[in-house]
């Protein structure tokens, strides 16, 4: 037990490697075996990550479960891992999302099954690693490592325009990351270390700090995505297979927000303050702009993709308000969004598997042929528009209230997103589920057990976080306070 606890993070990160190895040596035709192995592997990984949560000490302010090992001493880079109140919730989110992806792809991926599950497991490793990394090289490594399996997932198992989308996704995000790399290298040249805990306390002349901030910010802004660098997202989300979209929307996007909170803000506080106005404006634009696009979209997945942009606008709004309430709301909203939008993409995937159409005009009256599914979709719709009682409300409320305390005008515009959100989601629901039964969807196979389980888990979380969020908010209290104290 001690061994497990001391290296828990490494266990969580690398455990899927066992699954990968087993699958690698399995013959390609044993598809069922492959799926079960990956399911069990990720299930154990999820349990480990919940165990991580259970052993988190709320009172400590620094990093916990820290591991530091020699890696490349020549450039003073260590294998340095650790979690604090800000990053800890993302670890179970990652593993849980991968679990849901495996469940949802059970029957929908038919070719190259072995490679697909390998890619999924590998993605999981990279995602968890990114959230735990405290050494800039390790962080960058994991950050980029996610791109490769995602590139493959979208490019091989995706929709008709997958090649264009995946290359766009890869190059766009990579382009941003390069600026971050320049920043990282500069920091090393200046201070001789990649250690995050030491770099946080450094001071820089303002110009340098601004440039460094911008370098990191470009990478994170593209990942979030903020307006105007958001255009890779709709294509990537629409063309990706269901599992790809869920991971993209569920986790990948959060890396951007997490990056801001973990790196850009604490390491370059003056610059962050200087650019905060700009970031707030871009966030508000994202909220409203993306919302307006959603109003007129006909492609189901593209609509939800743009709604992601809108929701992440709320998150960045909360982050750059530098208010503790809003910051807590932003982190929670990232978790919420991962659950809700992931679930929405799963819903779309369920229906797409049956009809192979993403066009909203193809559907109608689905509530008659698939009532249970309609109920689940309604839950996630309500969570997406922030109905009190669901998790979406808590996040939005905290963000808007907190931001209001620092910057009233931004909130007035941001709150308009609440109206637009309700408008497009309810209109979507009406066109797809209500009204006359469209003959295209008259005969629909019922929900399978794996789809049902994949939908029940997020539903439970939606209401749990919505009604008792303190359990989740408490993780962040000390860390966020710490972060903002240093910012002043």
Partner 1 sequence: MVEKHFELITHFDIYVFLIPFLPLIASVITLIFGKKYFRDKAHLLPILALFFSFLLSIKVLIEVINGKIYHFDVYSWMFAYDLKVGLGFLVDPLSAAMITMVTCVSFLIHVYSVGYMGGDPGYYRFFAYISLFTFFMLMLVLSNNLAQLYLGWEGVGLCSYFLIGYWYKKKSASDAGKKAFIVNRIGDFGFALGIFLAFYFLGTLYYNEIFPKLPEISNKYMGVLGYEVHVPFLIAFLLFCGAMGKSAQFPLHVWLPDAMEGPTPVSALIHAATMVTAGVFMVCRLNPLFELSNAMMFIVAMIGAFTCFMSATIAPTQFDIKRVIAYSTLSQLGYMFMACGVGAFIAGMFHLLTHAYFKALLFLGAGSVIHLLHHAPDPNDIRIMGGLKKYMPITFWTLLIASLSISGIPGFAGFFSKDEILAQAFFSKYPWGKFIWFIGWVVAAMTAFYTFRIIFRAFYGEFKGWEYIHGKPHESPRVMTIPLIFLAIGSIVAGWIGIPKALGGRNHIEEFLAPVLGHPRIVHEVSHSTEYLLIALSILAGLFGIFLAWLVYIKKPELETFFSKKVKPLYTFLFRKWYFDELYHYTVVIPTLWISRKIVVAITDNTIIEGIVNGSARLVNITGKGLRVLHTGIINHYSTFILIGIIVYLLVYLYLK
Per CB under 8 A, residues contacting partner 1 are 168, 171-172, 228, 230-232, 289, 292-293, 295-296, 324-325, 328-329, 365, 367-368, 371, 382, 387-389, 393-394, 397-398, 400-402, 404-405, 408, 411-412, 415-416, 418-419, 422-423, 426-427, 430, 433-437, 467-470, 473, 477, 481
Nearer to partner 1 by C-beta: 299 or 353?
299
Give the helix ranges, DSSP H, for 192-264: 196-199, 206-223, 232-239, 242-247, 253-259
Q: How far is the CB of 470 from partner 1 (least distance, A)?
A: 5
Interatomic CA distance for residues 25 and 382, integer angstroms = 45
Q: How far is the CB of 296 from partner 1 (least distance, A)?
A: 5
Q: How far is the CB of 383 from partner 1 (least distance, A)?
A: 12
Give the helix ranges, DSSP H, for 55-161: 90-104, 113-132, 136-145, 147-157
Interatomic CA distance for residues 466 and 4, integer angstroms = 33
Burial zone of 234 (CB within 10 Å; 0-12 exposed, 13-18 middle, 19+ buried) = buried
Nearer to partner 1 by C-beta: 63 or 393?
393
Q: How far is the CB of 263 from partner 1 (least distance, A)?
A: 23
Nearer to partner 1 by C-beta: 183 or 318?
318
CB 248 within 8 A of CB 240: yes
Q: How far is the CB of 426 from partner 1 (least distance, A)?
A: 5
Nearer to partner 1 by C-beta: 16 or 466?
466
Nearer to partner 1 by C-beta: 211 or 426?
426
Q: How far is the CB of 68 from partner 1 (least distance, A)?
A: 32
Interatomic CA distance for residues 217 and 172, integer angstroms = 14
Nearer to partner 1 by C-beta: 12 or 420?
420
Write out the H or E segment, with its range, that includes residue 452.
Answer: helix 449-467
Other C-beta atoms closer than 10 Å to the C-beta of 242 total 25
Q: Going by DSSP bridges, is the β-strand pair 77-83/64-72 parallel, antiparallel, or unpaired? A: antiparallel
Burial zone of 76 (CB within 10 Å; 0-12 exposed, 13-18 middle, 19+ buried) = middle
Q: How far is the CB of 152 from partner 1 (least distance, A)?
A: 21
Nearer to partner 1 by C-beta: 183 or 392?
392
């Amino acid at each position: 037990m001690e061994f497990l606890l001391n290296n828990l993070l490494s266990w969580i990160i690398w455990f899927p490697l066992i699954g990968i190895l087993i699958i690698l040596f399995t013959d390609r035709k044993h598809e069922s075996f492959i799926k079960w192995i990956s399911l069990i592997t990720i299930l154990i990984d999820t349990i480990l990550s919940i165990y991580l949560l259970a052993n988190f000490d709320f009172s400590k302010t620094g990093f916990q479960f820290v591991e530091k090992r020699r890696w490349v001493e020549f450039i003073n880079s260590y294998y340095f891992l650790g979690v604090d109140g800000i990053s800890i919730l993302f670890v179970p989110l990652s593993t849980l999302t991968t679990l849901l992806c495996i469940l949802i792809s059970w029957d929908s991926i038919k070719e190259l099954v072995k490679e697909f599950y390998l890619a999924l497991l590998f993605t999981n490793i990279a995602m968890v690693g990114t959230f735990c990394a405290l050494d800039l090289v390790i962080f960058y490594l994991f950050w980029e490592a996610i791109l490769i399996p995602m590139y493959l997932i979208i490019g091989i198992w995706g929709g008709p325009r997958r090649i264009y989308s995946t290359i766009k996704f890869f190059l766009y995000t990579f382009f941003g990351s390069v600026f971050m790399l320049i920043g990282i290298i500069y920091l090393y040249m200046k201070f001789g270390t990649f250690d995050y805990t030491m770099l946080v306390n450094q001071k820089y002349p303002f110009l340098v700090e601004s440039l460094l901030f911008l370098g990191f910010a470009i990478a994170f802004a593209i990942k979030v995505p903020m307006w105007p660098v958001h255009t890779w997202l709709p294509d990537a989300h629409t063309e990706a297979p269901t599992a790809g979209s869920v991971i993209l929307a569920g986790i990948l996007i959060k890396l951007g927000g997490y990056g801001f909170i973990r790196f850009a803000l604490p390491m370059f506080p003056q610059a962050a303050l200087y650019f905060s106005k700009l970031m707030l404006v871009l966030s508000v634009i994202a909220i409203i702009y993306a919302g307006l696009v959603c109003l007129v979209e006909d492609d189901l997945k593209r609509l939800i993709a743009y709604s992601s942009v809108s929701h992440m606008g709320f998150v960045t709004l909360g982050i750059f308000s530098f208010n503790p309430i809003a910051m807590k709301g932003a982190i929670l909203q990232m978790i919420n969004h991962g659950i809700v939008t992931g679930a929405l993409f799963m819903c779309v995937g369920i229906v797409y598997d049956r009809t192979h159409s993403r066009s909203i005009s193809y559907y109608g009256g689905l509530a008659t042929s698939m009532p249970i599914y309609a109920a689940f979709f309604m839950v996630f719709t309500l969570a997406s528009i922030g109905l009190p009682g669901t998790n979406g409300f808590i996040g939005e409320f905290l963000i808007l209230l907190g931001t209001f305390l620092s910057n009233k005008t931004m909130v007035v515009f941001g709150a308009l997103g609440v109206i637009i959100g309700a408008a497009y989601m309810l209109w979507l629901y009406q066109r797809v589920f209500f009204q006359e039964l469209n003959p295209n969807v008259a005969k629909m196979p019922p929900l399978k057990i794996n789809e049902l389980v994949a939908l029940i888990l997020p539903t439970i979380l939606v209401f749990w976080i919505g009604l008792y969020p303190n359990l989740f908010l408490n993780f962040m209290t000390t860390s966020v306070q710490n972060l903002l104290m240093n910012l002043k």
